Chains A and B, each alone.
Chain A
């Protein structure tokens, strides 16, 4: 069966520090991978998605970036965090457009 791992579960970082959140999927190959940010009252905001190694589609032109160095690995990064980057970040995967998303447990990021 397929599983998705996302870490860390919680993170407290000072403003201006770098960020790296990692997500890996097991039990499937060539998944579509996604990063979302969930904020109260705003639903899930799509940040990035990837349909293959090295292929990243960006939805949010902010100080965040994503990379997919391996087939089942998806990384969310920032060189310098802002206070506004605080939130709940979710990684997800699926096989294709008509498949549902499967979510990781999320990372609660607090920028101080």
Chain B
């Protein structure tokens, strides 16, 4: 079965600074990778996905992620964060039929 490790449980950062949220996965089959965001008191929203092709994928709200097969990573980045990016971010891996999530990274953007 697949598994996901999000290496940082909390990431505090100042507004307009760059941020990287790290995600590593393990799988014995080809995978599809996803990042979701959960704003306070809201449901989960898809940020971006990697299915195949270009290893750099762009998502909503200026986020992007890079798939690295050799390092089994799918890190999420944003060059300049806003206060409104404060949320919990989840990395997820899809194998055959299941979808597994990491424990989440709480991003806090400070003024």
B9 touches A97 (CB 8 A): no
Chain B residues closer than 8 Å to A2, beta-carbon distance: none
Number of A interface residues at 8 Å Cβ cutoff, please give it: 23
0/1 string, A97-109, CB within 8 A of B gives 1 = 1101101111000
A46 touches B94 (CB 8 A): no
Chain B residues closer than 8 Å to A74, beta-carbon distance: none
Number of B interface residues at 8 Å Cβ cutoff, please give it: 22
A46 touches B103 (CB 8 A): no
Chain A positions near chain B (C-beta within 8 angstroms):
32, 34, 36, 41-44, 46, 49, 51, 57, 59, 90, 92, 94, 97-98, 100-101, 103-106
Q: Which 10 A-B pairs have the closest CB atoms?
A: A43-B103, A44-B101, A43-B101, A100-B46, A43-B104, A98-B32, A98-B51, A103-B44, A97-B94, A51-B97
